[in-house]
Structure 1
Amino acid sequence: MKTGKILLACIMLTGASHAMADNVKTTERGVEIYVADASPAAAGMVRLSVITDNIVRVEAVPGDSLPAPRASLMVVPQEPCGRFDCTERGDSIHLTTRTLLVSVSKATGALVFRDRASGRVLLRETANGGKSFTKYVSPQTTLPPNYRPSAPGEVNWGRREHLNRLTEADRTGYSWHALFDSPADEAFYGLGQHQSEEMNYKGRNEELFQYNTKVSVPFVMSTRGYGLLWDSYSYGRWGNPDDYLQLGRAFKLRDKDGQAGALTGTYTDKRGRTLTRREDSIYFEHSGVIGNLPKGFNLDGSSVIYEGTIEAPTTANYHFILYYAGYVKVYLDDSLAVAERWRTAWNPNSYKFTARLTKGRPVTLRIEWKPDGGTSYCGLRAASPLTDEQQGRLSIWSEMSPSMDYYFIAGSSMDSIISGYRRLTGRAQVMPKWALGFWQSRERYKTQDEVLSTLAEFRRRRIPIDNIVQDWNYWEDDQWGSHRFDPKRYPDPQLMLDSVHAMHGRFMISVWPKFYCNTDNYRQLDSNGWIYRRAVADSIRDWVGPGYVGSFYDAYSAGARRLFWKQMDDNLYSRYAKGIDAWWMDASEPNVRDCTPIGYRKALCGPTALGTSDEYFNAYSIVNADAIYNGQRSAAPDRRVFLLTRSGFAGLQRYSTATWSGDIGTRWEDMRAQMTAGINFSMSGIPFWGMDQGGFCVEKRYVAAQKLFDKTGTENADLAEWRELQARWNQFGCFIPLYRAHGQWPLREAWNIAPEGHPAYESITFYHRLRYRLMPYLYSMAGWVWLKDYTMMRGLAMDFADDPAVRNIADQWMFGPALMACPVSRYKARSREVYLPRQCGWYDLYTGRHTAGGQKLTADAPYGRIPVFVREGAIVPFGPAIQWSDERQADTICLYVYAGADGEFMLYEDEGTNYNYEKGLYSTIRIAYDDSSRRLTIGPRQGSFDGMLRRRSFRIVYVTAGKPVPMNPDTREGRMAEYSGSEVTIDL
């Protein structure tokens, strides 16, 4: 057999091409395989394209031709730069780069990815079914009749924007399923931000769509040295590709009296009136089915019990999903399967759990539900069972795409995999320095005076802060989308902004992509066909006042994005002398209406200018971010953009955009869920993430407790818990990329949580000050994000991959290279179990005491502190005490050096607010510690920028296992070193 061979180096052919089998075609970038005798549901054609030595793109379709190329919303244009060989060996085609060997079966199209040097299999498609396809036709057919396409010659996102009507071809795609083998010890991270307290996604199921508190990113990383990024914007599933089943379809049901076919539902209202009926499912999850609850029955304050037995059709681990608003518990065979959870009525949540059930054995099921509002939601469904081997595979299902299209990214570490991800999806920006300081927000400051008096109180109390936030409804009630301040409550917005800046603060404002029909901005967008019209046609009213009709703009249209920014610029940015420092892009899922079934949600936000919302369901946040990022850079080219968005998607980092976790609840379990949510979001390649510290939606008992205190000064049990919860959440928040408090009433400023002298107040203000002392550490990490694709909030598997004990740890993480945060998330806990990874020893941050790694211990956690450990070899720079991020430069840095291993730190500095760093105007100082010689070297400064400190002092504090030193950035102990840019060496 003849061998085909082609070499590529940065798109230059460097070898000759030889004949191959008739069903194989080499290309400039790789190879195409036309699968012999493929079934209609299998891949008929597979294309491999080499991007770099460690990144290969895989495209597949049934049939023999890929769709016409389209501009990707997530992947930026690539200039391939990887040398490869393409050879034919028996039944397989082998694509070889410097680091990878990819094999493709000519008969089936099955893929195997190997490390070239060792031959080790990184990822292998499952035999007989690794790629499968089903034709999908979207029901969405027309754009608004007045839709105006982009201007001729305008660069836009895709192939469809010129269409006024979506043809059948535009509505047709494939549901595809990719399935790979996975060994038992593999772990997976990423997928965005989800709320079920799940750290490792091995063997888990996750639905991939965008919603308030839920962010789906089509990227996953493995402990076996690779990541997968799939270029699909549709609804998808990780794990089991099938939808969850209603209980009556998943099991044989019997009610509490033993009658087959249903459970018993008992409804008791707050007056004691009881109603009993049979329930063939518990599926009261959205507006489409909520009407199936008992008619005329007031659920608010009632008690509901669903009970009976479920009998499994086969012995397996069953994966359940619980959907709830109000209070809920679930029991299986009288054992608590789900401890009490709560969520406010208008914003339900999902939680997943697993139970082992035996074929033919009835299991008692009892759901105790206490609705907490007039409209409330409850549902329990189960996934069709898979074997443990099937459930453990790597499985990706996408509802609608033109083709299967994914990128395999190999890496020697998770950092190198994320670097590959950012090569594909865009380089992250350096955030403004002030963005790393503290943000104060509430739902909501209602007047100009509230904004200014709050910031002034921070300054009076000397509590460090950088940013004050104006949440929604600063406009007149019936003018949502006008982007105009209500003149009665904000009589002089320019004065307000100038006053914020005079107090050395920054100002962020909430802007939604939502418009009431009576606003001028709505009419401008609608006149071009750039408004989603279904909500208007259905007369959907929101929750403000009497309820107003409006809808969201189509951010998939380049023209609409340009007009959206112009409206923001005309009414807010340039109107007020560019005094707005940051943008809060709320509801960017887009959330046209809460609690609707997914099919109707797609109808409400489509069709888009690029195609149906079946295909473009998950990517709204990134095109919306494009509008603001590029808009502001056109208006103020040298001023750093900062966006905070409630949704996110692959590539968001290139638009200087961070994400927060939405309108989460104020419960201890909600706090725990943010830990896994934030870690996995960060491990999805998007570096800046935050949350509403303290939670957003508040239980009524906390509201009542605060009102009692305001009236009588009495701290009852609920208020005591509220204050401890807020303290613990602020402790947690100090060690994530964005440090921001926000939520509904009670108010979230430290002095409104508890009076000065109270342990909650003292703890919150301690961590405010610690955050600012860590500013050189924080801002250096922000620089590394840009310089070397760094990740600030790091699951332990990123740094300790060869320690299997860390893979499922959900409540500890590395915050940068030195600090391991271990928050406390249970009421009245004064200690907690901590695992210290085995690769090194560890120091207590506060006391300097040393403990060997590779063990669990019970760490002290008094009310005012959480355990924080520092790894051996760490170098931690502390700056001066400051009240805002740029109050003074770090002319003296207190440098703590922790013995026991070699270590290094690179201090990054620039001008903090502009884009001169893109022109090379920044400096770095490499600081290295050699443990064997006990020598610290502060290397020569590289680079410069305007205003840079030419001279500074380092106070070196040396901490060893035999000589613990408490953390004290104001210490007078330690060795002083004067530094003027040349190398300095200190023997410790």
Structure 2
Amino acid sequence: MKHIYLLLVLAAFSGSLQAQSFQKTAQGVKASTTNNDIEIQFYNDATIRVVKSPKGKVFKKESLSVTASPLKTGFTTQEKNSILTLKSGKVSVNLNLSNGEVSFFTANGHPLLKEKAGSTVFTPFNDAGNSTYTVSQSFILDKDEPIYGLGQHQNGKLSQRGLKYRMEQGNVEDVVPFFQSVKGYGLFWDNYSPSDYTDTEESTTIKSDVGDGIDYYFMYGGSADGVVSQMRGLTGKAPLFPLWTYGYWQSRERYKSQAELVDVVKKYRELGVPLDGIIQDWQYWGNNYLWNAMEFLNPEFPDGKKMADDVHALNAHMIISIWSSFGPMTKQYREMAAKGMLFNMQTWPESGSEKWPPNKDYPSGVKVYDVYNPQARDIYWKYANAGLFSAGIDGWWMDSTEPDHVYAKQEDYDTQTFLGSFRKVRNAFPLMTVGGMYDNQRKTTSDKRVFILTRSAFAGQQRYGANTWSGDTGSSWETLRNQIPAGLNFSLSGIPHWNSDIGGFFAGAYNTSWNDGSGANNPLYRELYTRWIQFGTFNPMMRSHGTEVPREIYNYGKKGEPIYDAIDKFINLRYALLPYIYSASWDVTHNNSTFMRALFMDFPADKKGWDINNEFMFGQSILVAPIVNAQYTPEKIVKVDEQTGWNKQENKTNDSTITVDFTTEKTTKVYLPEGTGWYDFWTNQKIEGGREITAKTTINMIPVYIKAGAILPIGPAVQYATEKKWDNLEIKVYPGANGSFTLYEDEFDNYNYEKGAYTEIKFIWNDKAKSLTINDRKGKYNGMLSTRKFTIVLPSGVTKTVTYNGKKTTFKF
């Protein structure tokens, strides 16, 4: 009997020891295994932070991406057989107290994601004299489970399964160490060093060059929108862009004088083609020794303020190129050099001479500045404000925000920044430099919304008023095809504003092979450019830009000719959709929505849409299937990247004998997701979803379909976004399902909306009753329309015009 009693006492004591292997905290638990310390924190009831470090090593970090603080979250803990379960109202987390493996489930126990047992790895690493680690963690995914995100990659893939990346910022590669699953969860790996992503059938692994610990966030949203919402809640909401930024933008590398730039805007006004933005690329500052001086020192730009005033007088806006580096003769260079704020690494341009190729006997001396230093960011703004913003520049084209790192050497990564080695914080460079501009402009004024066009991005950058473009791409059909999944995965990483250079950046292969030396007259390029314009119509920003071949519409014929008319048609379509686009932008800001939407976002049950990489939803009503294969001309094969492009190593195939009839009809295959009906935007023909169809196309028409139940506001014909008030909008209603749409309006270019100065008008379609309700207007702002007309149009052609004074009204069809 004594022996049995002793066993019971020992068992109770053993259980007590095991119970002490973890400690409950206000946000979760802390625990230790044989090798590692682990902390699990609830940031809210659907987002969990997991922190791991070698046993006994203190790991504390202030995140550069995460802005949220943990919310007080109710959760329970239960231990059974060395498995500790933490459960909130939405998710459940298992921690294996023996080996440290973490697994995630829905609140009702459905498995979502788990760590691979034994895959937590800390390898000692000497980071420029600092003892730290290379860190790695592997996860087990379902065999047929697609995942999306990871920033922007130019490989044409939508699902990121079976791929391998070296995740380091580059000209056309944007690193966001975040992915989300069709199962409705996401994972953010909070590390800023170059990393390797490897997905195999066995596991998905992220390995980072430097990390004092492993730090990641698991979030459950239940849907793609829910995951994006959690990610934005964690890293920052996207502020609202001005209305004018959603119009058409014209650019090229580069306008050689202020007179040339202003003349472009004048020509658009003379032609009656809408335009809202013009962009001045580099060298307005003069020579390479004055690189990025942020002043108009080039004799061809004698008066920058007058240039901006002339553009404004034509009812357009202007942004200008600024870089993350400075030439040795600039004021910025001298001030920052004296304070140790410049990096000694090779960047672009390489030579002080503007001749090509670079003459390295005369190095430019250009150096990248320490964006991680808050004082350096303030100095950067001081000069941008004094030389450009005060002259009337409306926004910023922040180029080379990777930054350009030419002939990268290992010792470059040892360079000390304000926050440690460059290796440790390398991938966060765009986040810091863009953030410095946003924060400083917001401190300067609230009368003008920040707008930044930038070439690189990192997790959290959506909070800084930045639109990322896809870099210096080559002009080819393959590149165009790659832009769709690149933009979709970027958007699925939580950053909603994205575009590509319409026409591709390096177009010289079409220019040099054409008989008159003008690629704009080459039918091969004309077809490619037209299809890219059509794709760009349905991007968050519609911007034409590139080198070697001019991009302005008047280079592509004249009114009445097929290519000119096709370009003109889609620019005007963009303006017709502005009420829809601006309302979608409010949905992005207010509800954490997304502009460019992979099909699985809205149709997760339709497995056929999980990996379609050539179609997408633009907003929640419009399905777009861009033409991404040549239909009228041979598909010229062009292989070019930023390095070979700048070195002029181009395809020289002769195209000068090609003649083309752009007036014939063609066809293409389109998949319409199941679960809804679809209307052809051009013909109003209704088609049931869940099947592939053959759609008619012409050079001025691509497949565009509207989801049944959609309500689509159409704006007036204008030459610029704010030319006419929206006092008589056409409201297209597409029957076949219940639907709603909220029309958003405000003062268009200030931050008064943050104080509640805006209106919402909700339209509700009851399909069974065939009735449309326009709810009471909510809110108010200066200049608000108190009375207006809406012309309601059904696909059948039935129309009704209603006078609306802000009070609820319902009428039947």
Relative to the length of structure 1, the TM-score reads: 0.75
The reply to whether residue 982 of structure 1 matches residue 798 of structure 2 is: no
Answer whether contact 2:42 2:70 (CA < 8 A) is retained. Answer: no
Question: Could you report, residue by residue, the CA deviation over 1:370-418 in whole angstroms, capped at 9, with x for unpaired residues?
Answer: xxxxxxxxxxxxxxxxxx632xx33222221111101100012111111
- Give, in whole Å, the separation in 1 of the partners of 2:301 and 2:408: 38
The reply to whether residue 73 of structure 1 matches residue 64 of structure 2 is: yes
Question: Could you report, residue by residue, the CA deviation over 1:263-304 in whole angstroms, capped at 9, with x for unpaired residues?
Answer: xxxxxxxxxxxxxxxxxxxxxxxxxxxxxxxxxxxxxxxxxx
Map of 1:422 onto structure 2: 232
Q: Partner letter of residue 216 of structure 2?
A: Y
Map of 1:553 onto structure 2: 369
Q: Partner letter of residue 94 of structure 2?
A: S
Q: Tell me which of 113, 120, 127 is aligned to 2:110.
A: 120
Q: Partner letter of residue 755 of structure 1?
A: K
Secondary structure at the aligned position of 1:650 is classed as coil
Answer whether contact 2:511 2:548 (CA < 8 A) is retained. Answer: no
- Give, in whole Å, the separation in 1 of the partners of 2:505 and 2:345: 30
Answer whether contact 1:703 1:746 (CA < 8 A) is retained. Answer: no
Q: Partner letter of residue 986 of structure 1?
A: F
Map of 2:218 onto structure 1: 408
Map of 1:951 onto structure 2: 787
Secondary structure at the aligned position of 2:176 is classed as strand
Map of 1:591 onto structure 2: 404
Answer whether contact 2:27 2:70 (CA < 8 A) is retained. Answer: no
5+ residue gaps, structure 1, are 3-17, 39-43, 141-167, 241-387, 966-972
- Give, in whole Å, the separation in 2 of the partners of 1:441 and 1:674: 19
Answer whether contact 2:510 2:525 (CA < 8 A) is retained. Answer: no
Map of 1:25 onto structure 2: 23
Counterparts in 2 of 1:866-945, with a 5 A limit? Answer: 866-945=702-781
How far has the Cα of 1:600 moved from its partner?
5.9
- Give, in whole Å, the separation in 2 of the partners of 1:862 and 1:77: 49
Map of 1:566 onto structure 2: 382
Answer whether contact 1:441 1:740 (CA < 8 A) is retained. Answer: yes
- Give, in whole Å, the separation in 2 of the partners of 1:956 and 1:539: 56
- Give, in whole Å, the separation in 2 of the partners of 1:773 and 1:662: 28
CA RMSD of aligned residues (A): 2.0
- Give, in whole Å, the separation in 1 of the partners of 2:103 and 2:444: 49
- Give, in whole Å, the separation in 2 of the partners of 1:873 and 1:399: 50
CA 1:25–1:543 in 2, change beyond 3 Å: closer, same or farther?
farther
- Give, in whole Å, the separation in 1 of the partners of 2:411 and 2:613: 35
CA 1:466–1:600 in 2, change beyond 3 Å: closer, same or farther?
farther
Question: Could you report, residue by residue, the CA deviation over 1:825-883 in whole angstroms, capped at 9, with x for unpaired residues?
Answer: 11126322111101111111000011111101121121111101111111111011111
How far has the Cα of 1:494 moved from its partner?
1.4
Q: Partner letter of residue 800 of structure 2?
A: R
How far has the Cα of 1:637 moved from its partner?
2.7
- Give, in whole Å, the separation in 2 of the partners of 1:601 and 1:500: 42
Map of 2:156 onto structure 1: 197
Map of 1:476 onto structure 2: 286
Map of 2:474 onto structure 1: 665
Counterparts in 2 of 1:285-324, with a 5 A limit? Answer: none
Secondary structure at the aligned position of 1:102 is classed as strand
Secondary structure at the aligned position of 2:136 is classed as strand
Counterparts in 2 of 1:626-645, with a 5 A limit? Answer: 626-645=435-454
The reply to whether residue 54 of structure 1 matches residue 54 of structure 2 is: no
Map of 2:648 onto structure 1: none
Question: Could you report, residue by residue, the CA deviation over 1:629-686 in whole angstroms, capped at 9, with x for unpaired residues?
Answer: 1111222233100011100011111111110001000000010111111111111100
Secondary structure at the aligned position of 1:618 is classed as helix
- Give, in whole Å, the separation in 1 of the partners of 2:272 and 2:515: 25
Counterparts in 2 of 1:518-529, with a 5 A limit? Answer: 518-529=329-340
Answer whether contact 2:511 2:518 (CA < 8 A) is retained. Answer: no
The reply to whether residue 208 of structure 1 matches residue 19 of structure 2 is: no
Counterparts in 2 of 1:405-804, with a 5 A limit? Answer: 405-477=215-287, 478-535=289-346, 541=351, 544-545=354-355, 546=359, 547-574=363-390, 576=391, 579-593=392-406, 596-597=407-408, 599=410, 602=413, 606-705=415-514, 707-708=516-517, 719-804=522-607
- Give, in whole Å, the separation in 2 of the partners of 1:703 and 1:908: 47
How far has the Cα of 1:540 moved from its partner?
5.4
Map of 2:12 onto structure 1: none
Q: Tell me which of 685, 691, 697 is aligned to 1:849.
A: 685
The reply to whether residue 102 of structure 1 matches residue 100 of structure 2 is: no
CA 1:196–1:431 in 2, change beyond 3 Å: closer, same or farther?
same
- Give, in whole Å, the separation in 2 of the partners of 1:649 and 1:721: 36
- Give, in whole Å, the separation in 2 of the partners of 1:698 and 1:420: 40
- Give, in whole Å, the separation in 1 of the partners of 2:759 and 2:510: 52
Q: Partner letter of residue 381 of structure 2?
A: W
- Give, in whole Å, the separation in 2 of the partners of 1:543 and 1:899: 63
How many aligned residue pairs are there? Answer: 760
Q: Partner letter of residue 546 of structure 2?
A: G
Q: Tell me which of 81, 85, 90 is aligned to 1:90.
A: 81
Q: Tell me which of 34, 38, 41 is aligned to 2:32.
A: 34
Counterparts in 2 of 1:810-821, with a 5 A limit? Answer: 810-821=613-624
Question: Could you report, residue by residue, the CA deviation over 1:59-93 in whole angstroms, capped at 9, with x for unpaired residues?
Answer: 011223441x3321100041413211122222111
Secondary structure at the aligned position of 1:870 is classed as strand
Q: Tell me which of 625, 635, 642 is aligned to 1:822.
A: 625
- Give, in whole Å, the separation in 2 of the partners of 1:70 and 1:560: 22
CA 1:463–1:983 in 2, change beyond 3 Å: closer, same or farther?
same
Secondary structure at the aligned position of 2:219 is classed as strand
Question: Could you report, residue by residue, the CA deviation over 1:904-930 in whole angstroms, capped at 9, with x for unpaired residues?
Answer: 111111111000011111111111111
Q: Partner letter of residue 249 of structure 2?
A: W
Percent identical residues: 36
Answer whether contact 1:905 1:928 (CA < 8 A) is retained. Answer: yes
Answer whether contact 1:176 1:398 (CA < 8 A) is retained. Answer: yes
The range that moved more, 644-653 or 487-496, is: 487-496
Answer whether contact 1:230 1:407 (CA < 8 A) is retained. Answer: yes
Answer whether contact 2:370 2:417 (CA < 8 A) is retained. Answer: yes
CA 1:986–1:19 in 2, change beyond 3 Å: closer, same or farther?
farther
Higher helix share: 2
Answer whether contact 1:47 1:59 (CA < 8 A) is retained. Answer: yes
Q: Partner letter of residue 302 of structure 2?
A: P
- Give, in whole Å, the separation in 2 of the partners of 1:19 and 1:751: 80
Question: Could you report, residue by residue, the CA deviation over 1:731-763 in whole angstroms, capped at 9, with x for unpaired residues?
Answer: 000011000000002110011133333211111
- Give, in whole Å, the separation in 1 of the partners of 2:509 and 2:417: 40
Q: Tell me which of 153, 163, 184 is aligned to 1:225.
A: 184
CA 1:71–1:544 in 2, change beyond 3 Å: closer, same or farther?
farther
How far has the Cα of 1:697 moved from its partner?
0.7
Q: Partner letter of residue 705 of structure 2?
A: F
